Every structure is written in C-alpha cells, then in structure tokens.
Amino acid sequence: MNFLRPDRARFDAAIVDLDGTMVDTLGDFAASLNRMLDDLSLGHVAPAAIETMVGKGSEHLIHSALVHVLSPALSKAEADAKARALFDRAWERYQHHYLAINGRHSAVYPGVIEGLQALRAQGLRLACLTNKPTPFAKPLLADKGLDGFFELVFGGDAFERKKPDPLPLLKTCEAMGTEPARTLMIGDSSNDARAARAAGCPVILVTYGYNHGEPVRGVDADGFVDSLAELVPATGR
C-alpha cells in the first residue's frame, strides 16, 4: 500500500463507499427483500444470491431479486416483464421494511473506524458516496457511529446517474471543491473503480466487499487493502 498511501501530500480528500466498504449490510438487504417478497406472495432469495445483486442501487437490487424468484417458473423475458409490472408495489414495500430494520442486521467491518481516523488525521476531507438511497444511508451512518467522519453524504438519489457513471464522483468533488486527481476513491467493487477511472480519481478497493460475485483483484484499481486499517501511516502503527 505504500505506493498509494493516502497522505496530504498526494490527496486533499477521499470519497468512501458505504455498503461492502464500511458496513456489511447483506443482512439488512436479505431481511428487507424477503419481507418485501412475503408481501408479494413470492418465494425468498438467499443471501448468497443477493450478494451478487448489490452495488448498483436499490432499483436494480429489487428488480434483480424479483427476476430471481420468478425465473424458475417463467422464461427470462417473462420474468423481466413480470418484475417490471410488480416493481412499484415492490419498491414501496421494500422502502417500508428497509427503513424499519435499517442497521439491525448489519455491522461495521473491522478496521473501518481506524482507517477513517487515519484519513482525518492526515488532513483529508471525507465524503461518503453510495448508490444506496440517501434516506437509508444517513440513518445507517448515524446508527453505526460513522456520520461524524463525513462532511458530505450523497446517496444514489442525489444525482441524475449512479456509479459506475462518473457523474456522482465529479459532483462530489465539485461540492468539496477538490480536484479529481487529488481525491481518492475508496470502494469495494468494479462500480467504484469504473466511476473513479472515468472521473480521473485514483482508487483503492477493499478485498472483502460485494463485487457482483467476481474476484475484486481482477478489477482495474490503484491498490487493494484487506482492511481500512491499512490506511494508517506506517509511523502510526
């Protein structure tokens, strides 16, 4: 990690992803989706399948879960069409359940607090940028004691497009008044890396998150860490 250690000489700020990077929220997703599916009289989806669906926003997650449970009885095209027809009701029920259980089935990954403290100690400004809707993201950060680290929090509903589009990163840099080249992106998936590359931000990925079922070390990134605690300067260990 020394080749891209996030210190003030290289960076002015860091943008940090939420799900799969700071907080393991798979349990929240599973509980909310399966309660939603119960309301629609549909079967459940297993956490292992949900993990491959996470990262592209709640709309994608809900649609993917619906297609997954409908597919055994329908063709792919039929399942997709049925999922679209059910989407509005599913979205309403998902929001209801997620807001009710937000944070109850999730946990902060080891090393996250230490890593965020290290970034702040280096003088970097921090923003949280996630594809999770802002009304879900802000309460989760507060519940886990992470909200105090960030001067800005942007969810997937904050801009016209979501990661992997570069627009959210560019807008976040604009809001902080920082140059993309001096703003480090820290995430867990190809969505974060692709968005960072297109925006001109250096990017570090954690190895433990949700990368759509694909090996994260195969993603084009500037570095990988097994824990955000690795962001602590060597002299501070």
Catalytic residue numbers read 17
Burial class (CB in 10 A: 0-12, 13-18, 19+), 80: middle
Q: Tell me 19's DSSP state.
A: B
Which tokens go with 216? 């994260």
What's the gap between Cα 73 and its chain centre? 31
Number of Cβ within 10 Å of residue 200's Cβ equals: 15
Which tokens go with 156? 């997937």
Upper half-sphere CA count for residue 39 (Cβ side, 13 Å): 18
Burial class (CB in 10 A: 0-12, 13-18, 19+), 55: buried
Identify the bridge partners of residue 186 per DSSP, sorted by sequence position: 16, 204
Those residues whose C-beta lies under 8 Å from the C-beta of residue 85, and which sit 6 or more positions away, are none
Residue 212: closest CA among 131, 150, 138? 131
